[in-house]
A and B are shown apart, each in its own frame.
Chain A
Amino acid sequence: MKKRYLVLGLITTAFTSFGQVNQKNYSKKQLSHTDVETVFSYYNQNNDHSAVTGGIGTEDLQVYVTHLSLDNIKDSVRTVHFDLGFDVISSASTDNIDFVLSSASKVDARIYTSLGYSRLLQDKRTTWGMNSSFSIESDYLSWGQSFSINHLSEDQSREFSAALQMYFDDLRWGRYQFDGTRELVYPSELRTTKWFDNYRRNSYNLALGLYQSINRRMALGIYPGLTYQSGLLSTPFHRVYFADNSKQVEKLPGRRLKLPIGIQLNTFIGTRWILRTYYRYYWDDFGISGHTLNLEVPFKASRVLTLTPFVRLYSQNGSDFFKPYAMHAISQEFFTSDYDLSNFKSTATGLGFRYAPYFNKSRTTFKALDLRFTHYERSDGMIANTITLLINYDKEQKPE
């Protein structure tokens, strides 16, 4: 008898109870989030081959960098990108344009920003994007525009990418002087001659990429590129001293074609070690060719901590237009004493430290802290050091 009542009670309960209450006002909402990266860098260098003083003189330089990068991921389709950077540059060499030492060194600032948008197409494998950029320094102003497309293969093992970047630069001095002065600045003793009619420099870059998974632990990337520059490619305040003791402003051709190809092979070894290898061959019609080899060995010391020792070797065959101080013949059509365009070898070594706890509090996820130190030596005597701190976190927006 009791069983009957029990069964009846259970059946009645089963038909009258609901696991979910039907909410008529329910609507699907996308949660957007913003990935934030803040970068602080300090760079210093020194040598005695400044192009401002014709291949002799101090190249002492310090740069302090602050950079903010935001990726606002609206949903699984749309991303808005925003960048803002501010560099303070303390350069002893540019102080020598006038030979009037206004301070221990000349202080300049570089401000740059960019705004971009990318969208995943309906096939869920193709992403297109566009980006506009702006950069200003006392001696140049640059506008940039880029378009990019990425396509992922159906099995996600291969990715093609193509980007077209265009930069339109104006090299006139006086951007931070509000009296309307806009002119190319020459070394003080050479200002009686108007050395250049053109003050614009245009750059067009085509960057291609193929990224292929080789197996579960290995991936290969191939990155060919093509860059064409036209306009004023000389720096108007670089002096050149000739063998006959005369002096002029640096003069380089008005066009330059650059052809780089980079190859990257990344391999995960065991459960803790990764080998990142990169090689690049570079050629341009200034006569420069270069080989770059970069080796990094990230070691995962724990789930959240990675240490990355690295070495970068570079060898450059210099430009046909380069000669050191007072070695140029006056009969030459193009000439420079800028050691960045000379024959040299360089070595960069350093250590990276990455702490990535993915610690979540409220709607904010602290993703990672990167610290990286690089020591750079060039065979012409230049020594430089860079230290960079990157803080990365993610902020989820409140649903409306």
Chain B
Amino acid sequence: MKVNLLKYLLLFFFATALASCQMVKPYQRVYLNDYEMRPGYPGARGFEQYVFTIREGSAGGGGAKTSGGCGCN
């Protein structure tokens, strides 16, 4: 029941977010183009994300590369 509620909340959140999309003209993109608004892990975030993929079972989903690799130390 708890999981179902979470699913519905997420669905509602994304439906609301996507339905409220507004046209943004190029001269109105000052906030969207800011460095800190970039998607993914810009700047110095890359190495710590790589460490997380080694120290934890999860990987991928917009993060660092999900290579086979070693990471066995």
Contacts and interface: CB of A to CB of B under 8 A. Distances in A.
A262 B63 contact: yes
Given A157-B23, A298-B36, A316-B58, A167 B69 contact: yes
Contacts of A61: 73
A390 B23 CA distance: 35
Interface string B22-46: 1110101101101111111001111
Contacts of B31: 216-217, 268
Nearest to B19: A214
Consensus secondary structure, chain A interface: strand
A356 B55 CA distance: 31
B48 A372 contact: yes
A20 interface: no
A216 B29 contact: yes
A365 interface: no
A94 interface: yes
Interface string A349-388: 0001010100000000000101110101010001010101
Nearest to B13: A265
A374 B36 contact: no
Contacts of B72: 51, 94, 139, 235, 237-238
Interface residues of A, number: 104
B50 to A, nearest CB: 9
B24 A371 contact: no
Given A142-B67, A169-B68, A215-B22, A354 B43 contact: yes
Question: Interface range on chain B: under 10, 10 to 19, 20 to 34, or 35 or more?
Answer: 35 or more
Contact of B21 (A201, A215, A274, A280): A215
Interface stretch (A73-81, A118-126, A241-249, A281-289): A281-289
Interface string A332-347: 0000000011000010
Interface in A309-324: 312, 314, 316, 318-319
Interface of B: 14, 17-18, 20-24, 26, 28-29, 31-32, 34-40, 43-48, 51-52, 54-63, 65-70, 72-73
Interface of A: 39, 41, 43, 45, 51, 61, 63, 65, 67, 89, 91, 93-94, 108, 110, 135, 137, 139-140, 142, 144, 155-157, 165, 167, 169, 171, 201-203, 205, 207, 209, 211-221, 223-225, 227, 229, 231, 235, 237-238, 258, 260-266, 268, 274, 276, 278, 280-282, 284, 286, 288, 290, 292, 298, 300, 306, 308, 312, 314, 316, 318-319, 340-341, 346, 348, 352, 354, 356, 368, 370-372, 374, 376, 378, 382, 384, 386, 388-390, 392
